[in-house]
Amino acid sequence: MTVPKLALTENTDAAVGKTRADVLVIGTLQGEDGPELAAGADVADAAFDGKLADVLGTLGATGKAEEIVKLPALGKLPAGVVLAVGLGKQKDGTVTAEQVRRAAGAAARALSGTDRAFVTLSALDLQATAEGVALGAYAFTEYRSAKGDGPLAKADLVSPAEGAPRDHKATLKAATAIAESVIIARDLINTPPNDLYPASFADRAKKLAEANGLDFEVLDEKALKRKGFGGILGVGGGSARLPRLLRVGWKPAKAGKKVALVGKGITFDSGGISIKPAAGMDHMTSDMSGAAAVLASVVLAAKLKYPVEVTAHIPLAENLPSGSAYRPGDVLTMYGGKTVEVLNTDAEGRLVLADAIVRAAEENPDYLIETSTLTGAQVVALGNRTAGVMGSDEFRDRVATIMQSTGEGGWAMPLPDELRADLDSRLADLANVSGHRWGGMLVAGIFLREFVAEGLPWAHIDIAGPSFNTSAPWGYTGKGGTGVPVRTIAAVLADIADQG
């Protein structure tokens, strides 16, 4: 785990002017006539005789989002370099938390190899800055023989001008814990499938559970067969590395509500007999992003001591073609007794999730949150950064709204009743896919709804695109696993703790 050491510095001109660092990070805004300095840049501006914005403009700065401009401090400041990072245009006269988070992340990425930076963006939003710096500095170098310069080692964050120091410390502690949990998910996603498979994922989960005082249970292939988890066994039957089902739980002394989390854990997805095209198949190492997210989320619930009982149910399998693999045309008997005709073995995620959803509902939770890289149709409909949120109407909208507020993005999607007929089977209770390509994300959500207990408020977050970044880094997001939607789940749990 690579999280810079984050510390608070008092927000006074004297404290800012005397804090030694290699780099001083300030924010700029995109104004009508060039860059404008954001809050927190006063000391740096004074060192340049009030003309820092003009100097930056001369160097080509505009203040646009994530723009990086460096200039030497020329002995005017304790730091040797001033790094100006763009926040973009103000929205209704304010700078949003996500603008600050992305700017902080972009700055942290630009500071690779730096020992210590002093960051003034926290004058705008302490939590967003801390999260952005920690996540932007992330680098997964486990498998590189040459590790490079390494990420930013330490960041001093100026405390906001308003609020009590105790509150600032609590905010920094929470932001650091959230970032650490996102990084737990990123590390799992970025680990290659020859080292991360059902049994090894279970071993890592057990260590995290023991380190954080969580309940832990694992069902191996024998227990899964004995208890009738036909979906997980069917999907995982083609691999020599057999499936698992984990239960990881946080139970505080006084819990107001019970929340079940379910995350898809296909540690590698070839598509099975309905095999995927070779191009891009290496990205299918990320098909366990949902499992990584819910595991990291229950760890976070324990770290922040949420007054909510949180239990993660994590089905793990490798979907490979072999002589023992399940086939198109097979009928699986799922946990709980429903039968499913398999029409496409690449629609495997919904099968393992269905088993886990039924098991989760046996514990009578007040809410169910499920997340997975479920469908390529999510990317077609919403792109690579916006998750589709489906489920029971009220809770779905609540989760989607919170997801948007965290900056992770999310959009409420319907589950039209007329699409249920597309899953009718000639042999079983239902088929695992429809007979056409239309509304694929919604049809998958309808399939999952068949296994949700009646009356249970639930939300499914399809993160097929947002969970894994295959393009250039941006903001606080590098290439590879993103950790979406850990921050959303954390915010939903906090909201449930507060609102019920």
Name the catalytic one among 258, 350, 398, 487: 350
Q: Residue 248 has which token pair?
A: 């990881």
Q: Residue 101 has which token pair?
A: 């988070």
pLDDT at 490 over 80: yes
Radius of gyration of the CA atoms of the chain, in A: 24
Tens-place pLDDT, residues 252-262: 998 889 999 99
Tens-place pLDDT, residues 244-254: 999 999 999 98
b/e per residue 357-388 (b: at least 16 CB within 10 A): bbbbbeeebebbbbbbbbbebbbebbebebbb
Tens-place pLDDT, residues 35-45: 999 999 999 99
| Residue 129 one-letter amino acid | T
- Note the pLDDT of residue 245: 99
**For all residues of the chain together, what is the average pLDDT?**
96
Q: What is the mean pLDDT of residues 357-371?
A: 98
- Note the pLDDT of residue 140: 94
Which has the closest alpha carbon to 107: 76, 131, 132, 71? 132
Q: Residue 122 has which token pair?
A: 């926290």
Please give the C-alpha separations between residue 267 and each of 60, 99, 302, 462, in angstroms, as whole numbers: 46, 33, 25, 17
DSSP-assigned beta bridge partners for residue 245: 219, 315
Q: Residue 193 has which token pair?
A: 């499938």
What distance in Å separates the CA atoms of residue 173 and residue 298, rounded to the nearest whole number?
Answer: 17
pLDDT at 473 over 80: yes
Which has the closest alpha carbon to 259: 174, 370, 349? 370
Q: What is the mean pLDDT of residues 305-318?
A: 98
Q: What is the mean pLDDT of residues 147-152?
A: 82
pLDDT at 1 over 70: no
**In CATH, what is the architecture of 5-164?**
3-Layer(aba) Sandwich (3.40)
φ/ψ (deg, to 5) at 447: -55, -50
Q: What is the mean pLDDT of residues 92-117?
A: 96
What distance in Å separates the CA atoms of residue 460 and residue 349, rounded to the nearest whole number?
Answer: 13
Tens-place pLDDT, residues 9-50: 888 777 777 889 999 999 999 999 999 999 999 999 999 999
Q: What is the mean pLDDT of residues 308-335?
A: 98
Q: What is the mean pLDDT of residues 172-178?
A: 97
pLDDT at 448 over 90: yes
Contact 150, 113 (CB under 8 A): yes
* Lowest model confidence (mean pLDDT) among 82-96, 97-111, 149-163, 196-210: 149-163
- Per CATH, the homologous superfamily of domain 193-499 is Zn peptidases (3.40.630.10)
Q: If residue 490 lies in a helix (H) or strand (E), which one and from where to where?
A: helix 486-499
Helix boundaries (H) for 212-245: 221-227, 230-236
pLDDT at 192 over 70: yes
pLDDT at 195 over 90: yes
What distance in Å separates the CA atoms of residue 415 and residue 423, rounded to the nearest whole number?
Answer: 13
Ordered by start, the domain boundaries in the chain are: 5-164, 193-499
226 is catalytic: no
3-state SS, residue 266 = strand
- pLDDT cut 70: percent of the chain above it: 100
Strand 309-319 vs strand 244-250: parallel, antiparallel, or unpaired? antiparallel
Q: Residue 370 has which token pair?
A: 């499920």
350 is catalytic: yes
Which has the closest alpha carbon to 344: 462, 234, 258? 234
Name the catalytic one among 64, 76, 173, 276: 276
